Amino acid sequence: MSSVPRKRVKPAARISVDRDGIVRAAAQVPSLNFDDRPEGTAITLLVVHGISLPPGEFGGPGIVELFTNRLDPDAHPYYAQVANLKVSSHFMIRRDGALLQFVPCGKRAWHAGVSSWRGRDHCNDFSVGVELEGIDPVPYEAAQYAMLARLTRALRRRYPISEVAGHSDVAPGRKTDPGPAFDWERFRRLIR
């Protein structure tokens, strides 16, 4: 019995976070929805989110438009509910693994809202937010896990990030993302 030879895949290039909190490997899409972190606050938490705009649809411009305050409330019935929100995230990972950066990591992106982790309120103060393009019940793509793992390793090399939580963990009862389809064990194996 012969086996089919496996194509050798070259490992992905290592990504890094510079002193300003910029990942040059990411497409830079500046958002105005950020401010300064409290002075002396260390970045110790990574918050994983899930988002799609319109809900349940992938690949469109809605998320970028939301985070850059350009979402047209008339473009989709759902947009009227969210078009005036001033929200952002540090990063977003598309379904194909493409990485976008909206806010430098040294700044406070507005991603977690009213939140608490291990007795500390205001998670935006001490966290980096990463949005995965997706919805709670739909499995995330292998390319998203791979990029999230690469990004997590890069962030840990730059900052003393000791924990990773879901948006649902820091805002229980208010948020459900990244949802039950996010495979935490798979992600943890990738970042070991």
Active-site annotation, residues: 131
Q: Which residues are paired to 165 by β-bridges?
A: 47
Contact 89, 109 (CB under 8 A): yes
Tokens of 112: 């977690």
Separation in Å, CA 78 to CA 57, 83, 96 = 12, 9, 24
Check if the beta carbon of residue 108 is closer than 8 Å to that of residue 36.
yes
Q: How far is CA 110 from the centre of its chain?
A: 12
Q: Biggest alpha carbon distance in the chain?
A: 65
Cis peptide preceding 137, ω within 30 of 0: no
Residues 6+ apart with CB under 8 A from 118: 163
